[in-house]
A = this chain, B = another copy of it.
Amino acid sequence: MLHREYDTQVCSVARSLEVVGERWTLLLIRSVMLGARRFDDLQAHTGVTRSVLTNRLRRLVDEGVLERRPYQERPTRHEYVLTEKGLGLWSVIEHLRQWGDEHYPEPAGPPRVIVHRDCGGHPDAHLLCDRCGAALTARDVRAEPGPGLAARGIARTPGEPVPTST
């Protein structure tokens, strides 16, 4: 377990990475942010094995990053939603996205475009809206499939909602 390995560090970065630094964990949180909430969707979205996915989801629920909610009875099935604490990781994910878009660009353009719901602008390098200047958080934005995704023949990924406009 990663959290044992980092345990000698007196550092808030290390402490955060104990929770989200395991392989696949940040990618999984990204998938939930993109709208994949159910186990099978999350598996298809990440490509991770079922056992690793089970393990990562359990840990994120234990840490209060995700909440496990029933969405169906007989048989009971659950979906995973981000808590307030989990939504607080949006800034980490969004900066990883921006860094990837800048340094490892897809030839056709960004795979996803993050849009300010209120005005249609985009988050800048300080997560302020580049159109209206609003200080953005996870709740203020939606992700839309970008040209980089379309160029690979992918309209959207499993569990992601169909965008309301194009």
- Listed in ascending order, the chain A residues whose CB lies under 8 Å from chain B are 2, 5-6, 8-17, 19-23, 26-27, 30, 46-47, 85, 88-89, 91-93, 95-104, 106, 110-112, 125-128, 135, 148-149, 152, 154
Q: With A21-B26, A26-B17, A128-B126 in contact, do A10 and B99 touch (Cβ < 8 Å)?
A: no
Inter-chain CA distance A148–B13, complex, in Å, is 13
A-B contact pairs, 20 of them (CB 8 A): A8-B47, A10-B148, A10-B154, A11-B97, A12-B100, A12-B110, A12-B111, A13-B93, A13-B97, A13-B100, A15-B100, A17-B26, A17-B96, A20-B96, A88-B103, A91-B125, A92-B92, A92-B95, A126-B135, A127-B127
Q: Does B99 contact A89, Cβ atoms closer than 8 Å?
A: yes
Q: Does A27 contact B17, Cβ atoms closer than 8 Å?
A: yes
Chain B minimum-CB-distance residue to A108: B10
Chain B minimum-CB-distance residue to A153: B10
